Structure 1
Amino acid sequence: MQIPNIQPSPLGTTAVSDMASWKKPLKGIALTATLAVLAGRIAEAPFFSIMGIMIISIMLGVLWKSVMDVPVGASIGITFSSKFLLRAGIILMGVRLNFNQILNAGMRVVLIDIIVIAFTLITMIFLGKWLRVDKTLGVLIAVGTAVCGAAAIVAVAPLIGAKKEQTAISVACIAILGTIGAVFYIFLYPYFGLDPYTYGVFAGSTLHELAHVIAAGVPGGDISSETAILVKLGRVALLIPVALLLSYFYRTGERTEAVKKSWRNLPVPWFIFGFLAMSMVNTTGLLPSSFIHFLITASVFLMSIAMAGLGLSINMTDFKKVGRNTIVLAIVGFVALTILGQVLVSVFY
């Protein structure tokens, strides 16, 4: 009797393969999540709270890569964290925004935010060209200064074809300057000659990160803190049009005539529209405050995991390539923004 030749089930082989593919990213995700949790603990300390969990996460990632290197088999998960989890975090970040609150604050606040972003972007991009700073790096530092620090940088970076080291360098520059700026604001508050409300407008319209704004708003009390956060969130809301414009003008620098002439060829980032959708959901007021708080916490944690992944993807030698002119660009841009903020407060208030 002939014994039939039984072949392994393709379905079974596929199932085993699928299970193995699901396991591949876990090692890298676990590492980035661990670094993010550690960053959260560090961020609870008085001084480090100014820097914020996202900035500390990227610094821990860079430190781990320099001292321990990336574990074997963790690269897939690290890439997953720095790309997909980042986009998920950006989408959830939209729940911070309530457009009604921003509009109710008055057109003066909205106008100040628009002027601040337009002035900072235009000034820093042209200054970057004059200083011969790498075009992509200059745009990232400009958008980080103008809009909302690291969150703006990591949102815009994939839209303009930025490299990981350029993103990390930009985040580092913004983190350092924003932290120094927040400390100076806290100590110089008595000498600004501003009441708590106008000081809140000034801090919210000029500092880089939301963490910087929250820290700097403390000396002026609740009025200052609430106003600063509201003005800052107005800048965050403008991330959507800014990202779309920059993605159109700076996408790899190689746009064809067809792309120039047709809006349909605009590289639309789906996660930016997810951000907008979450903002609209929050604006409706249908979500309970406890759930909104949960989503905000999840957003910060996901973006912190992504920052850790970004830090693990770069080398310290990349920072040596920054160049003096890049640092000059970041400093001059922030100083110019600070001066503009004082002028706008005196004009509008």
Structure 2
Amino acid sequence: MNRARTLAPGLLLAALLATAATPVGRALPMVGVPVLTLGAGAVAGTVLRRARGAERVVDPGLEVARQRLLGVAIVLLGLGLPVGSVLSVGRETAIVLLGTLVVGAVAAFVVGRMLAVDRESATLVAVGTTICGASAIAAATAVLRPDRQRVAYALGTIFVFNVAAVLIYPPLGRALGLSQEAFGLWAGTAINDTSSVLAAGVVFGAGAAHFAVIVKLVRSLAIVPLCLGLHLGRRRLAAATGAPTGSLRQVFPLFVVLFLAASLIAGLGILPPSLTQPLSAVSGWLIAVVLAAIGTSLSVARLRTAGARPLLLGGLLGLVLGVSSLALMYVTGWC
């Protein structure tokens, strides 16, 4: 009972912020739910820091929201990624999808080193840019458990360029003469967060929006090898430094296994269609709760401390992804 009372204020605050921001974000897809929840959390955090003792009251619940709810949200996300239904799109777009992932990973390593960005920030910005924005950062956070200020900064960086992409990509796509499916592939591989991909697709056309979301879902499946790779990397680092390496089970985090199982269940059609949409909505809401909790740790002072390098890294990676995606599309005959 005491534990519940300790956690309740922070959990309730994050839930209220997410619930308030969700309908507004859906009504303004150019901004999106993630940006609004992160911003609402940042505003709430500023107020809490000015109120004596308030931050201490809500912090335990906010910390649980940041850490424990991530895995649940990611598993539910898998129920919206039916393996069978996305395989055909995956085959058609494999070269572009895999090519941009490889180019993005190499660019993240090279540019991150050149800019001397710290390992945690570079990893979070890279996975958010190259895979699927907030969902990928959430997954990486659950594995790495990085400093929460760096998580907040990485999310802010990703969303800044997502909003820019929604404004820039549709007119560029028209100027390049892209078809509806070609633009959908470009948006799905080069823009990060689902809400921004959808917004750019809607601006370009209904066909582009539909195909972009499918491509985005296929791209999101990279969360599985991402998490396993991060875990293996942590084990190698621990072995090199003499730190405890953990058990074999830790190489395969439970939430990753459940995410993959959920995707397989979705592909088998076991779940009634009537449950798919509500579960997807719950997953999106839980991610919004997590982002609101993370946002409370974001402040102008902390952004100044982090510096401009992670922001520059995100911008350069976004540019590399956009150009490499177009180049691969031209090579493979998509445009």
Q: Same fold (TM over 0.5)?
A: yes
Residues 79-126 of structure 1: CA deviation (Å, up to 9, x unaligned): 121111222111101111011122122523133212211210121122
Q: Residues 91-240 of structure 1 correspond to what in structure 2 (within 5 A)?
A: 91-105=75-89, 107-240=91-224
Structure 2 CA distance for aligned equivalents of residues 108 and 338 of structure 1: 19
Q: Which residue of 1 aligns with 2:40?
A: 60
Per-residue deviation at 1:257? 8.4
Asked if 1:274 corresponds to 2:258, the answer is yes
Q: 1:51 aligns with which of 2, 12, 31?
A: 31
Give ranges in structure 2 of 5+ residues lacking alignment: none
Per-residue deviation at 1:278? 1.1
Per-residue deviation at 1:250? 4.5
Structure 2 CA distance for aligned equivalents of residues 336 and 321 of structure 1: 26
Contact 1:248 1:266 in 2 (8 A): no
Asked if 1:338 corresponds to 2:322, the answer is yes
Structure 2 CA distance for aligned equivalents of residues 251 and 162 of structure 1: 15
Structure 1 CA distance for aligned equivalents of residues 94 and 75 of structure 2: 22
Per-residue deviation at 1:185? 1.2
Contact 1:173 1:327 in 2 (8 A): yes
Structure 2 CA distance for aligned equivalents of residues 321 and 253 of structure 1: 27
Q: Which runs of 4+ in 1 moved over 6 A?
A: 257-263
Per-residue deviation at 1:73? 2.3
Structure 1 CA distance for aligned equivalents of residues 268 and 279 of structure 2: 16
Contact 1:55 1:150 in 2 (8 A): no
Q: Secondary structure at the match of 1:228?
A: helix
TM value normalised by structure 1: 0.88
Q: Which residue of 1 aligns with 2:70?
A: 86
Q: Secondary structure at the match of 1:194?
A: coil
Contact 1:161 1:252 in 2 (8 A): no
Contact 1:161 1:251 in 2 (8 A): no
Asked if 1:31 corresponds to 2:13, the answer is yes
Larger radius of gyration: 1
Identify if the C-alpha distance between structure 1 residues 134 and 252 changes in structure 2 by more than 3 Å, giving closer, same or farther.
farther
Contact 1:129 1:135 in 2 (8 A): no
Per-residue deviation at 1:264? 2.9
CA RMSD of aligned residues (A): 2.3
Q: Greater CA deviation, 231-240 or 247-256?
A: 247-256
- Equivalent pairs counted in the alignment come to 329
Q: For 1:65, give the aligned amino acid.
A: G
Q: For 1:26, give the aligned amino acid.
A: A
Residues 212-231 of structure 1: CA deviation (Å, up to 9, x unaligned): 11011114433211111111
Give ranges in structure 1 of 5+ residues lacking alignment: 1-18
Structure 1 CA distance for aligned equivalents of residues 241 and 21 of structure 2: 46
Q: 1:249 aligns with which of 227, 233, 240?
A: 233
Identify if the C-alpha distance between structure 1 residues 161 and 189 changes in structure 2 by more than 3 Å, giving closer, same or farther.
same
Q: Secondary structure at the match of 1:342?
A: helix
Residues 23-81 of structure 1: CA deviation (Å, up to 9, x unaligned): 221111111111001111321343xx223212311211111111243455222211121
Contact 1:156 1:243 in 2 (8 A): yes
TM value normalised by structure 2: 0.91
Per-residue deviation at 1:198? 0.9
Q: 2:300 aligns with which of 269, 294, 316?
A: 316
The percent of aligned pairs where both chains have the same amino acid is 24
Q: For 2:268, give the aligned amino acid.
A: T
Asked if 1:21 corresponds to 2:8, the answer is no
